[in-house]
Every structure is written in structure tokens, then in C-alpha cells.
């Protein structure tokens, strides 16, 4: 889990997605910025 400021969320999401991470939706999003990510095998 990471806490990200809204103005940086899109930038960080792209970095994570480009590096093999996916958002873990089973936990839901707390407020749209605090999310769980997992590494794709």
C-alpha cells in the first residue's frame, strides 16, 4: 500500500504499470489515491 498525492497519482501509476505492477482491486480503493499494487509474475 502506498499513499500518493493526487497530483502525482497518474505519473506514479504509469511507472508502476510500466514495471509490471497491477492495481489490486480486491481491496478496493480507499480514496482514489491510496491503493494496493502487486507485482505480476
Q: Decide if 1 is inside a domain.
A: no
Note down the domain range covering 23. 6-39
The SS3 call for residue 2 is strand
How many domains are there within the chain?
1
The pLDDT assigned to 5 comes to 80
3-class secondary structure, 26: helix
Q: Does this model's pTM top 0.75? A: no
Q: What per-residue confidence (pLDDT) applies to 36? A: 80
Query: Is 18 domain-assigned?
Result: yes
Which residue has cell 489515491? 33
Q: What's the confidence (pLDDT) of residue 14?
A: 93
Looking at the domain assignment, is residue 30 inside a domain? yes
Cell of 15: 511507472
Q: 1-41: per-residue pLDDT in tens? A: 677 788 888 898 899 999 999 887 766 555 556 778 888 87
**Residue 18: how many CA atoms within 13 Å on its side-chain side?**
6
Amino acid at each position: 500500500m502506498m499513499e500518493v498525492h493526487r497530483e502525482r497519482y497518474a505519473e506514479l501509476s504509469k511507472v508502476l504499470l510500466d514495471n509490471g505492477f497491477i492495481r489490486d482491486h480486491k481491496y478496493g480503493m480507499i480514496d482514489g489515491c491510496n491503493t494496493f499494487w502487486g507485482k505480476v509474475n
